[in-house]
Amino acid sequence: MKLALYLPNFRDEVTVKELEDLTALAEDLDFDSVWTLDRVIVPEKSDRAEMEYPFGMMDGLPNGLPVISRGKWFQGWPLIPWLAAKTTKLRIGMSITNTPFRGPAVLATELATVDHLSGGRLNVGVGSGWMPEEFAAASVAHLFPRRHAHVRDTLEIMQGIWNNDLYEHHSEFADFELSGFGHKPLQDPLPIYFSGLKDPKRSAKRIAKYGLNGWIGIQDSPEDIRRWKGEMERELNELGREFPADFQMCSMIWTVITDEPLDQSDNGKVTNLLAGTAQQIEDRLKAYKEAGMTMPLIWPPFRDVPTSKTMDDLKRITEEIMPKVNAS
């Protein structure tokens, strides 16, 4: 099992220095990758839990974000080339790039450029987004009902640009004549991770059609991972396909080591999955491994846990806990 760090660029307050320190430690500890979060706004009505949908459209969560509207966070995409310059070993990516906020051809050329800047260490995460208020702030409110189709079209365009010397495309979301787009990505293929949190069938179709390299969920229990992987595998088999080689099964999971045991009984997405004593976290990671997870994205809490504590936890997870997990 690999480890990834989900940088806390989205929290009540975070500094560049904190992100820099966490990234440097992840590299020192030989983490596989670091990821950022794509967040444009926190609506003021989120503070009153009056948003149209709960966080991530996940059942059991309030209709508000876990970060205050007056918080001081950083947008995830500008951090990617900065991370490329700050690291030499870590893979880097944004989980998940909401494709409707970006022109597909522009995104394709930016990703190719960053892959070169990083020496071929870029992971590409794509998804549809879920917050109508954010679509409005990004000036693409009209795309919200068609956001899943936009992801599909973006995948078509990105791979068309990367795999052809010249490429043209004519669809609902992009219409351009035969053109060149500069450098191809250094990696061939550039690994793409998909985030589809509601429909295993849709995820399986994306994986089969586009040869995607991974799936990323949010706050998934071991039982969730086993169910998602099993359902996607069945859908792939019906399509006459299998998971690609080295397919990564991932989830972003809030993580903190505590002195006293925490209640980890099932309470949906708000269950303490990787929050608890070192023994509880070891047991949970063993269960994830058994269920088929290949890479948890360790996600520091949104507030109340200082970066220094998170750094201590990362060291303990790497040096004390993971050797026992991987030996199981």
Q: At what angle do helices 104-117 and 79-86 cross, to 10 degrees?
A: 10
Burial per residue of 253-265, b for 16 or more beta-carbon CB atoms within 10 angstroms, e otherwise: bbbbbeeeeeebe
Note the pLDDT of residue 59.
83
Q: How far apart are CA 79 and CA 83, in angstroms?
A: 6
Q: What mean pLDDT comes out for the span 39-53?
A: 97
Q: Which amino acid is at 326?
A: N
How many percent of the chain have pLDDT more than 90? Answer: 85
Q: How far apart are CA 115 and CA 188, in angstroms?
A: 11
DSSP string computed for 207-267: HHHHT--EEEEES--HHHHHHHHHHHHHHHHHTT--PPTT-EEEEEEEEEE-SS----S-B
pLDDT tens for each residue of 168-219: 999 999 999 999 999 999 999 999 999 876 777 888 888 888 989 999 999 9
Q: How far apart are CA 305 and CA 303, in angstroms?
A: 6
Note the pLDDT of residue 269.
86
Q: Residue 191: which of 101, 121, 249 has the closest Cα?
A: 121
Half-sphere exposure of 103 toward its Cβ, with a 13 Å CA cutoff? Answer: 8
pTM of the model: 0.95
Domain ranges of the chain: 4-327
4-327 is classed in which CATH architecture? Alpha-Beta Barrel (3.20)
Q: At what angle do helices 307-316 and 16-28 cross, to 10 degrees?
A: 10
Mean pLDDT for the chain overall: 95
Note the pLDDT of residue 197.
67
